[in-house]
Amino acid sequence: MTNPFIGFDEKQNTEFTSPVCSINRVRLAKLPVLGIEDSVEGFRANEIFSAKIISDDVLATAQKLRVDVSDYSYRELPRLLSDGILSDDALKHRIAAGLSTKYGNRLGLILLTLRTGLKENRIVRDDWEDAHWQYWADVKNIILTGGLASGLLGKRFKEQIHYVFDVAGVKPYNISLFENSSHVGTMGCTKLIKDKDKAFAVLDFGQTNIKRCLVRKRGGEVSSITTLDTVPSVNMDLTFSDTRENFDRALELHRYLLNVICDTCKDLELSKDETGEVIISIANYVVGGELNRRRGGYAKLHLLSDDYASLLSHELSSRMHRPYKVRLVHDGTAIALNFSGSEDSVCMSIGTAFGVGFPDIKLT
């Protein structure tokens, strides 16, 4: 099956994931089935489902029922939906059961919208052609990853997705859950390491957190992965202007990222003349070293360089006093690399936003 969401970059001689694949922009202009949650009709996918939306709903429901959720930070509130399913606390169980059903249904409606491709929903997605909708009609397998796909919550979401398709009388996707989601991006990046004996820094620049690890290969196989402390993402505001103010934000973000990379690389065990290599999964539709100018909080970095990977390589080398090479990878693609060889499959990450990756992509 030809994938219309994968492009080819002749300059880099490699495939890339096109930004038009975004699920966030799918609008449920007409619900493909009524009677489940009709109130979401007319909204975009990212307006009805995300970690933030779920956190807000958990907090509001807990306050209404006078349930103490102070054991959870704001970002951890979706975890209450997993914990509460088996809780002996009747009110926490009520919150978990109600909201896991609600957001499982919403996820089901989003996937059903993709599967059915109704005319009303095609019209409002002007960057998709018939081939894009046909792809979602024909694809067989959905691999759910990300924080919201883990544990009992992921299993509950899967049940509700099948429920929505069953009510609609539509054949469902084969849904599988990837449980080890916390470092799925960095794990995927290790697939790009070709050297047989070397140490690498691998990072995952997400919208919420930056995950870091050190990878060592011996005899062509990954011999060790050392996970370092996660650090928060900063300056993730969605500002796409070319004003001086936005340039200053980009510069501040760049300096922070460079410091994070340097701190990570200091733990690498490199020989005297060895070139350091860094692979970064980033929440942006990157082609080569060039960032997409209109996607996510990292987009502003394009104001500093048309080839941001080269800029990082140069400044990191100067800071560390040895040659370093930085490679940037679209985060959805990094996740999909874990499932290379899976046919007719899409990796869908659910968390801060929807992410998409395709296991059939071929990177050099």
CATH superfamily of 184-357: ATPase, nucleotide binding domain (3.30.420.40)
Per-residue pLDDT at 258: 97
Residue ranges covered by each domain of the chain: 14-139+152-177, 184-357
CA dist., res. 224 & res. 360, Å (int): 27
Residues 101-136: pLDDT tens digits?
A: 999 999 999 999 999 999 999 999 999 999 999 999
Low-confidence ranges of the chain (pLDDT < 70): 180-182
Residues in Cβ contact with 315 at an 8 Å cutoff, skipping those fewer than 6 apart: 258
Alpha carbons 102 and 58: distance in angstroms, whole number: 11
CB atoms inside a 10 Å sphere around CB 282: 24
Give the pLDDT confidence score for residue 224 in this predicted structure.
84
What is the 8-class DSSP label of residue 71?
T
User: What gap in Å lies between CA 198 and CA 225, rounded to an integer?
Assistant: 12
Q: What is the pLDDT of residue 187?
A: 84
DSSP 8-state symbol, 182:
T
What does DSSP say about strands 221-232 and 209-218: parallel, antiparallel, or unpaired? Answer: antiparallel
What does pTM read for this prediction?
0.91
Whole-number Cα distances in Å, 75 to 31, 91, 250, 309, 335: 30, 20, 25, 30, 22
Give the integer Cα–Cα distance in Å for 302 and 291. Answer: 6
What pLDDT does 181 receive?
Answer: 66
Structure tokens at 246: 């936005």
Strand locations in the chain (E): 6-9, 14-17, 141-145, 174-177, 198-205, 209-218, 221-232, 276-282, 324-330, 345-350, 354-357
